[in-house]
Amino acid sequence: MEPADILDAYYWNRLPLILMFINGYFIYRLFVVTQLTDVFVSWSLRRSRGRIGRISLYIIATAAVISFFIPNAVTILILLPSLKLLDRDIRIQTDGKRLTTALTLSAIYGANIGGMGSLIGSPANLMLIAALDLFKVPGGDQITFLNWFLWSLPLVLLFSLLAWRVVILFGIPKELRSLRVAMGEARIFLNSKQRSAAWLFVIFILFWVILSLLERPSFGVEEYLPIPAILFFLLFLYMSFVSAPGPAPRPLLRPKDVFTDLPARGLLFIGLLVVIVWGIQKLGLQQYIPALLSGLIHPSVPPIMVVISVSAAVTFLTEILSNTVVSAAFFPLVEFIGESYGLAPLILMIAVSAASTCAFMTPVATPCNALAFGEMKGTSLKRMVLAGFLLNLTGALLISLWLEFMIPLLYLR
């Protein structure tokens, strides 16, 4: 087969995944334009019934769920009005006692943790897919929209509970944990555009879950799946830009809505990843990298310690560097680490993607950290650093142990 034919076959087979990421971007724009997520935030916080200890958990959970499908910085922007109002009400109802740090950390932790929750939740995940294809990593072609959730949802749940305990420990005094603040009833009021957007979201989830199920080799229809993916994508565009389903049979999106805040940085760093991989292969550096790494990690180190070391390194580097920069640098490195230490590269590369979203120590670690810390005046930097350091360490350990156990079961059988 000619190289051009091989490339055409690759793009045809990967077309459903490419369309899914583009589809996910349209979902994100629908959420923002219709403000559907604002209603979800208001409803979720009221479900806490004003219990101060539980409010933190609901903020973490809400931020995580929203960040499954939209950028974590946008998640923070959606949460900020509610957080500021809640911060003010708590001060009034507790005679001036402040829980600003707890509210801020809860939002930051949930938004960052949620990035690993779905395949479209973080630019690092898109870069991961590109890296897996570039290196032809065994098991990488088995990743689908649906089976990603099989390992990510339990991990997000465990991570969120861990983050909640850290917030309780560092952000909420014991005497306030059992107090309640007055909150409204947990009712949902959706306008017609929001109901139509909700219907589109449900349709989006159902289609890509069904398509993921059909990707199983036992069905023998993998080569035909791009066809329904194209048809659904065109239908989704029609329902978004021409006639929406449900109670609002009018366009939900306008063309200009799509290009507002285009994720240029994510696209830039995907290109950077390709350049790095091409440069390494062109210069023949791959033959020297294993020798360099063997000097940093002793050959007798157990494989799980290698995974933990990589996860911790990525997490702490993300405190001072962009997660996309760290991911772009580490994906080529860990592919060689896996080969050198007898580890499945897929485990290490997914660990890099997951850990790169989990930087909790500093206000400059991620855009959502900066937004939350800057807007929530009164947040303690000292507590943020101490709590974030503990969560970075325990989070890296949790990610490593979970992926070491789950990834072979899902993708490497």
Question: pLDDT tens, position by position, for the chain (413 residues)?
Answer: 444 444 456 667 778 888 888 888 888 888 888 888 878 877 777 777 777 778 889 899 999 998 998 878 778 878 888 888 888 877 877 776 778 899 999 999 999 999 899 988 887 888 888 888 888 888 888 898 889 999 999 999 999 999 999 999 988 887 777 777 766 555 567 788 888 888 888 999 999 888 888 877 666 777 888 899 999 999 999 988 887 776 656 788 888 877 765 545 444 544 554 565 566 556 655 455 444 555 556 666 788 888 988 898 889 888 877 777 778 778 888 887 877 777 889 999 999 999 988 889 988 777 788 888 888 888 898 999 999 999 999 999 999 999 999 999 999 77
Residue pair 241/251 in contact by the 8 Å Cβ criterion = yes
Determine the pLDDT at residue 159: 97
pLDDT for 385 equals 94
The pLDDT of residue 245 is 72
Question: What pLDDT, on the 0 to 100 scale, is given for residue 166?
Answer: 95
Give the model's pLDDT for residue 74.
78
What was the pLDDT predicted at 289? 46
Total number of domains in the chain:
1
CA count, 13 A, side-chain hemisphere, 199: 18
Rg (CA), the chain: 22
3-class SS of residue 260 = coil
Tokens representing 289 are 């990298």
Considering the entire predicted model, what is its pTM? 0.81
Q: What pLDDT does residue 25 have? A: 81
> How far apart, in Å, are the Cα atoms of 125 and each of 10, 40, 131, 143, 180?
19, 25, 10, 11, 39
Find tokens 């959606």 and name the residue: 78
Alpha helices, DSSP H only, in 215-322? 226-241, 255-259, 264-283, 289-296, 303-317
Please state the separation of Cα 191 from the chain's center in Å: 28
Among 195, 197, 225, CA closest to 210: 225
Domain that holds residue 392: 3-411
- Residue 167 identity (one-letter amino acid): V
Cβ atoms within 10 Å of 216's Cβ, excluding its own: 13
Q: Are 241 and 190 in contact (CB under 8 A)?
A: no
What is the pLDDT, as a whole number, of residue 168?
92
Strand partners, 51: 180
